Amino acid sequence: MGMCLPCLGGATEDVVQTPDPETRRKQLAYAAEKRLSDTNVHRGIKNPEAVERKKRKQEEMEKQQMNTSSSGGGGLRWQVG
């Protein structure tokens, strides 16, 4: 019988302290909100990374267009005279 007792001696040190119920409730609510948010953002999208890359590329192209069109109109100017 004395053989089992030494292995139980350190068991109290290994016990994980759980947070109080209010903190635990907040943690669970935050996790649930995050899951819902992630689900809604990626709903119907099989590859969200590809969608993000495409979105960034589109934004870059729009930015380039804005820079080239606002650079003073590099096109031909007609002078009537």
pTM of the model: 0.37
pLDDT in tens, 56-78: 999 999 999 988 876 655 556 66
Mean pLDDT of the residues in the chain: 78
> What is the CA angle 68-60-44, rounded to 5?
145
Residue range 19-31: average pLDDT? 93
Q: Can you give the residue ranges of every domain in the chain?
A: 20-67
Q: Which contiguous run of DSSP H or E holds residue 33? A: helix 21-41
Please list the alpha-helical segments (H only) found in 1-81: 5-8, 21-41, 48-69
**pLDDT higher at 8 or 53:** 53
Per DSSP, 18 falls in state P
Q: What is the pLDDT of residue 74?
A: 53
